[in-house]
Chains A and B, each alone.
Chain A
Amino acid sequence: MTKYMPRAVRKTGLILFPAFDWCITPSHPEREERLLYTRDQIVEEGLEDVDGIEFFNPELAEYADIDRVHLCAPSSKALLTESHLISAGGAIRAAKAVMEKEVERAFAIVRPPGHHAMQTVFGDRGFCIANIEAIMVEHLRRHYGVRRIAIVDTDCHHGDGTQDIFYNDPDLLFISLHQDGRTLYPGSGFQNEAGGPAAQGYTINLPLPPGTGEEGFSMVTDRVVLPLLDAFKPELVLNSAGQDNHYSDPLTNMNFTAQGYARLNKAINPDICVLEGGYSIEGALPYTNLGIILAMAGLDTSNVREPDYDPRRFVQSALMNGQIEGICQNALDIFAARKKWDTGVRRGEEVVERKSIYYDTTGFGVDQVRHYKLCPDCPGYTEVEASGAGELMHGFTVPFNACSKCQQAARDAFARAAKAKGPREQVVLQDRVADIYETV
């Protein structure tokens, strides 16, 4: 329209919602101030006037959007505040903007984040209650008929919640780049965590050594992320765009930069980004968010640097490079050997997985047993029993890509469990095919 402002190559939507009146606690990293400086930078840059960058307010997600993904104890209504519905609604708004062709790309810069929220939710874990990205994925599938989706999680912490939710889904490729779990919360994300029985090799973890910088991220992007995306051929690529790999982040030990985030985004070329973590609120977030936005819009990112940026500070050692090469090779091997459900299995067989899940914000544990019910025709349904904090959740989940026999089997199992229900027990049927959430 005007030659007086830059023009985006790709029309890009921004859902910028810093929630200046919400915090976990006043001095918590997830506090009112977190996106203040990011908002200030974006507004001062004049992005609202850039041709082809559109701003949208978030919507409020509905409880049905939450219940399609999570099994909340005691309930989604009891656990989630309006702020969580807005954060999830921000991600949904981003998806809607892209799917309804208001824009080509969208970035939800919202808080609180969500990638540590697992399928069962008993409270706040790693600053997350609702997995806003997973909620967006199931919303996309439900309302826009999207099937194959890839999520690249570039937050410094392992995206254990997202991994948990899609662990047995061969229509979702989950790739997580993160600081090695032996050195950082949540302590998971090792390469042997590669997917459930119906989705072997569709979860790819890339645990990187502390101190990894631009060189290391470029290596895993070029050698693993891009070839895997090429091979998987998703309809949509999503980026859990956490920004705590930054060299100035107070919670982590990596060496990544704003220039690096911009380049990473250019390479992955995601359709939709959702902000996750990132707690260097002054030294990193204003610049990393700007770098990602400009990269999405196809605008010049060469001038996006931290005021104290000096590329000489970020040279990686040969030893570290060698280590990362090994991680890349493992990942490629795991993906090459990927395998959907086994058509040879007997219906009714199951694989059992036990987990202890720690809720760090208030400090309690949940013990969980998940039964993957095998099926020769589909990924099968799952049964999960989880107990903690005085609650007992007993859920039956029918995935969106289940066959009708599994759907019926889950309903029958739910009915039996409901009849045998104990006093503190909550029995839930979460049927994503029929979009039903029934609780007894």
Chain B
Amino acid sequence: MKTVGIDVGGTNADGVLLEGESLLAKAKIPVDHDNLSGVIIALLEKLLGDNAGQVDQVHLSSTLCTNAIVNGEMDEVGMLVQAGPGLNPEFLDCGENLVFLDGAIDHRGGLVKSPSAALVDAALADFSAKGLQSIGVVTKFSHRNPQVEQDLARQAASFPHVTCGHNLSGLPNFPRRVYTTWINAGLKTRFQQFSEAIRTGVKRLGITAPLSVLKADGGTIPLERAEAVPCESVLSGPSASVMGALALTPREKDFVVLDIGGTTTDIGLFADGVPLMEPYGVTIMGRPTLIRALNTRSVGLGGDSEVKWTEDGYVIGPQRHGVPAAFSKGKITGATPSDAMVVLNRMEGNRERAAEALRLLLPNNPPEETAREVLLSFGQNIKRAVEQMVEDVFARPVYTVSALLERQRLEPTEIIAVGGPAEALRSELAAAFDLPCEVPLNYEVANAIGAARTRPTLSASLYANSSDGTLSIPEIGLHEEIGRSYGMKDAEESLAAAIRHLAAQAGLEGELPPVEFVEREEMNTVRGFSATGKVIALKAQVKPGLAGV
């Protein structure tokens, strides 16, 4: 099986061609953010040459959607939002066209009151008069009862695009649902243009293989399916590096992945060889969302970070110094970790200039000594960030006595480092963590390899209340009646069917990776003094992992 992985970064785009696990070819070209599809096609051409027809699949990790959000280039979205009682929803900040509807759905998914038709009609007429193309509809508790969102979507069917909150995620968290829906609807036009340009370009090159894009959760999704959920491709960069590290050094234990770049270091955590997920989803430009994501953290520490000397020792980052003295010409204005690496002969560069930069920090200290201290401090800073992350994971809320008593702190046994300065920092990282630190072969194209080796991910959530007689699986828009005897076994069957449905919808053929059931909750409901039924909550997922080769 021949797979292509493309990773579009801030300055360069990398491509790899893999045959199974082995690297057949790699290529790199500079990125033009105004023409990402052109960049990708050019990279494919450079990478594949005449072999385009023999490729079996193409995986892309693209910054298109992330950039559109960061640069404020999303479509204006007409938002219909039913908040019901709770936090005053006025804080929700998603464009000029946000209309709050009356009525409510309660915490069990009971419809308290539908929004009044007059309000909905007036809002849609206004959106239409403004020429809006994309509509987002969200209600509180739509993961328990999607009916109001579905009704609203039907009423808005004349608009070219409608996003419903419940289709994007079955997780609770209303503000995140609103922002996710808004982002998804706002990316629609741009992603569609991108997708069309890619398809045209690929055809011209003679590539017939299926196309997928990488998601923030360390999985892939077919390009065509992504047109309906473009938000899923947001912030896929860190997931590419985490999956790349896994592909280069697969192992089944607790470990830490560091992707060390010029300005930042991305940190990922693995428990028993499986990457940890965010509890809800990514936060992008300050907006919390339900876009499923690996638990990664970006800290302002990189090769080009600014280094200062203070009474408390070295302060590294989070500001970027600019091009390090060792790699530049002209006046030397400050020091960077890269200069320290060059002074210690761990990296190519102008050693004289690097030494001079370090002398700016501590004029009376030999530059070699300053260099060693700077890198040690770099390692210590990374270690503190990792410890904080491990602590945050440990501190996530739990709701049962058994979960509280049984929870365990992640205990990393190894550090995997990738990225430009990784090799030069290896001994300091190992010393800081007091753990072995491995820098895998081909680490400079780890992200592209990660994109190539990643397999599809799927997830669905179920909420059943047998005393009300309702079942809801929001990701597939299911809301139906159930009997009193509905139990956990039934829930597993319903969810497995939902996952199959989602797989078919995504155009995934062949055998699925194993479906895993997580976060079981089962409770008897009692009214008066007699049992009336059960509340069952369950999630199913095909978790991120490496595709078979």
Give residues in A with beta carbon < 8 Å to B. Answer: 1-6, 16-22, 26-27, 31-33, 36-37, 39-41, 43-50, 55-58, 82-83, 86, 282, 286-287, 290, 294, 299-300, 302-307, 309
Closest 8 CB pairs of A and B: A2-B286, A46-B175, A300-B88, A21-B400, A44-B172, A307-B112, A303-B88, A40-B107
Contact of B107 (CB < 8 Å), options: A26, A282, A305 = A282
Closest to A58 in B: B404
Residues on B with beta carbons closer than 8 Å to the beta carbon of A1: 286
Q: Are B398 and A303 in contact (CB under 8 A)?
A: no
Residues of B within 8 A of A48 (CB): 173, 280, 397
Q: How far is the CB of B100 from chain A (nearest CB, A)?
A: 10
What is the interface of chain A mostly: helix, strand, loop, or mixed?
loop
Which residues on B sit within 8 Å (CB–CB) of A305?
85
Contact A86 B524 (CB under 8 A): no
Q: Give Cα distance in the complex from A290 to B140, angstroms.
A: 15
Q: Of the candidates B112, B405, B521, B525, which one forms a contact with A20 in the assembled complex, judged by CB atoms under 8 Å apart? A: B521
| Cβ distance A214 to chain B, nearest Cβ, rounded Å | 17
How far, in Å, is B519 (CB) from chain A's closest CB?
A: 12
- Chain A residues within 8 Å of B173, by CB: 43-44, 46, 48-49
Can you name 5 extra interface pairs (CB under 8 A) apart from A3-B286, A21-B401, A303-B85? A5-B288, A27-B529, A45-B87, A49-B280, A302-B88
A46-B404 contact, Cβ under 8 Å, with A33-B535, A287-B85: no
Among B280, B288, B398, contact of A4 (Cβ-Cβ < 8 Å): B288
- Chain A contacts for B11, CB-based, 8 A: none
B contact set with A: CB distance below 8 Å = 83-93, 104, 106-108, 112-113, 140-141, 172-176, 179, 280, 283, 286-288, 395, 397-402, 404-405, 521, 523-526, 529-531, 535
Neighbouring A residues of B112 by C-beta, 8 Å: 307
A389 to B415, CA, bound (A): 60
Q: A5-B175, A33-B535, A37-B107 are in contact. Are A304 and B399 (CB under 8 A)?
A: no
**A307 close to B523 (CB less than 8 A):** no
Within 8 Å by CB of B85, from A18, A43, A304, lies: A304
Which residues on B sit within 8 Å (CB–CB) of A302?
88
Do B401 and A19 touch (CB < 8 A)?
yes
Closest residue of chain B to A7 (Cβ to Cβ) is B91
Are B87 and A4 in touch, CB under 8 angstroms? Answer: no
Shortest Cβ distance from B542 into chain A, in angstroms? 24
Chain A minimum-CB-distance residue to B112: A307
Which residue of B397, B401, B526 contacts A27 across the interface (Cβ within 8 Å)?
Answer: B526
Contact indicator B93/A4 (Cβ below 8 Å): yes
Of A6, A46, A56, chain B has the most CB atoms within 10 Å of the CB of: A46
Query: A40 vs B524: C-alpha distance in the bound complex, in angstroms?
Result: 16
Kindly report which residue of chain A lies nearest to residue B109, judged by CB atoms. Answer: A40
Contact for B104 among A50, A55, A307, CB less than 8 A: A307
Residues of A close to B288: CB separation below 8 A: 2, 4-5, 46, 49
Question: Roughly how many angstroms separate A47 CA and B176 CA in the complex, as a whole number?
Answer: 11
Interchain CB contact under 8 A, A26 and B526: yes
- Point out which of B108, B141, B175, B280 has the most chain A C-beta atoms below 10 A from its C-beta: B175
Which residue from chain A places its CB closest to the CB of B83 in the assembled complex? A303
Q: In the complex, what distance in Å separates the CA atom of A40 from the CA atom of B93? A: 23
Q: How far is the CB of B171 from chain A (nearest CB, A)?
A: 9
User: In the bound complex, do residue A86 and residue B401 qualify as a contact, i.e. CB atoms below 8 Å apart?
Assistant: yes
CB of B89 within 8 A of CB of A39, answer no
Q: How far is the CA of A243 from the CA of B402 in the complex (A)?
A: 27
Assess whether A44 is in contact with B91, with CB atoms less than 8 Å apart. no
Task: Give chain B residues whose Cβ lies under 8 Å from the Cβ of A309.
Answer: 85
Chain A residues with CB under 8 Å of B90's CB are: 300
Find B86's partner among A4, A17, A304 (CB 8 Å cutoff): A304
Contact among B87, B108, B113 for A46, CB-based, below 8 A = B87
Interface hub of A20, A33, A39 (most chain B Cβ within 10 A): A20
- Which of B141, B172, B405: most chain A Cβ within 10 A? B172
Pick from A44, A57, A290: contact of B174, CB below 8 A: A44
Query: B142 to nearest A CB, angstroms?
Result: 10
Q: Mind listing 22 A-B residue pairs with CB under 8 Å?
A: A4-B287, A5-B175, A5-B288, A6-B87, A6-B88, A27-B529, A33-B523, A33-B525, A44-B86, A44-B173, A46-B174, A46-B176, A47-B87, A48-B280, A49-B175, A49-B176, A49-B280, A50-B87, A300-B87, A304-B86, A307-B112, A307-B113
Q: In angstroms, how far is the closest chain A Cβ from the Cβ of B128? A: 27
In the bound assembly, the distance between CA atoms of A31 and B179 in angstroms comes to: 36
Residues of chain B within 8 A (CB-CB) of A20 are 399-400, 521, 523
Given that A46-B173, A302-B88, A303-B88 are known contacts, is A86 also in contact with B404, CB under 8 Å in the complex? yes
**How far is it, in angstroms, between the C-alpha of A309 and the C-alpha of B85 when the chains are bound?**
10
List the A side residues contacting B402 at CB < 8 Å: 21
Chain A residue contacts of B395, Cβ below 8 A? 55-57
CA distance A82 to B112 in the complex (A): 39
Interfacial chain A residues near B106, Cβ < 8 Å: 282, 307
- Asked if A307 and B404 sit within 8 Å, CB to CB, the answer is no
Compute how far the CA of A50 lies from the CA of B531 in the bound complex, rounded to whole angstroms. 36
Contact check, A82 vs B526: say whether CB atoms are below 8 A apart.
no
User: Shortest Cβ distance from A76 into chain B, in angstroms?
Assistant: 18
CB neighbours (8 Å) of A304 from chain B are 85-87
Interchain CB contact (< 8 A) of B399 among A17, A56, A282, A290: A17
